[in-house]
Amino acid sequence: MDIQRPGTDLVDALLRALARLAQALPESRVESVGRQLGRCWFHVVRYRRRQALAGLRLAFGGRLDEAALHRLCRENFEHYGVVLVEFLRLPRLSDRALQDRYTINGLEYAARARARGKGLIILTAHIGNWEYLAAAQAGWGLDMLVITRRAHQPGVDRFWQRVRRARGVRFVDAYRSLGEVLRHLRQGGTVGMSIDQHEGGTTGVRAPFFGREAGTVKAPALLAARTGCPVILLLSWRGADGRQHAVFSEEIPLATDTDLSVVVDRTTRRYNALLEEFILAHPSQWAWVHRRWKPA
């Protein structure tokens, strides 16, 4: 029996009401309203602002002064606001309208990797509009199973997963997902994994990220080493004109060594380096509010 925590239904209902308000906005107002919401968050939620600024200083402290870092942080929060409003409007958006918002580069790399018949691991991150990307990829013929974490608040999680499911996003909870992931890969399917969130304990490996070690999920490199599945990176960003851009990388080769732990460590470092390069190109659009550099 599904036993809900107190307040779950209220939170879910509140989010559905907010979604109706967002869906009533004219398209021309979506970005401006989103940026206004983001600016409010920037000024009101100070501990999140401090967290984002700490990460930005780590990445850009030697290149940007404090005034520039604060401007970049404010732009980052504005980006979150736009992502939120767009997500709330997602149920209203037709599949065709969503696809028309995208310019896609490198999809042939994914097709070529899948043609090998070993399954495909796609790495992604919380940059650009990651929810749009999750919904859009469902129409790109990737047969992707997305490994996801649950939102801490059950009402938020219920609303979030319902919107994603309605868009055809297939996902599995990261907790105890190995069996389902392996079955999907053996059948030639694609598995999507985020690599930009802190991962500690036995499921993580310490790898450099912007010059400082960060707990990074080791499952992609470990799966690739044990199954022979190719691995590519899929990331997106929003252009100045509001258009969404998605880019697939070429296959990322495994490091070579007779010691599996060394292979996993070195390969994970490659993944972080590629992601870092992409974030540097689009610094206002990554989730700096996440506590990426937690202690081991």
pLDDT digits 0-9 by tens, 93-121? 999 999 999 999 999 999 999 999 999 99
Domain ranges of the chain: 8-285
Whether this prediction's pTM lies above 0.75 is answered by yes
Q: Residue for token digits 């599949």?
A: 95
Q: Residue for token digits 């540097």?
A: 280
Alpha-carbon distances, residue 236 vs 48, 105, 126, 144, 147 (angstroms):
23, 10, 9, 17, 18
The pLDDT tens digits for 181-227 are 999 999 999 999 999 999 999 999 999 999 999 999 999 999 999 99
Please say if the pLDDT value at position 8 is more than 70. Answer: no
Which residue type does 131 have? E
CA end-to-end span of the chain:
36
Please say if the pLDDT value at position 150 is more than 90. Answer: no
| d(C-alpha 271, C-alpha 235), whole Å | 12
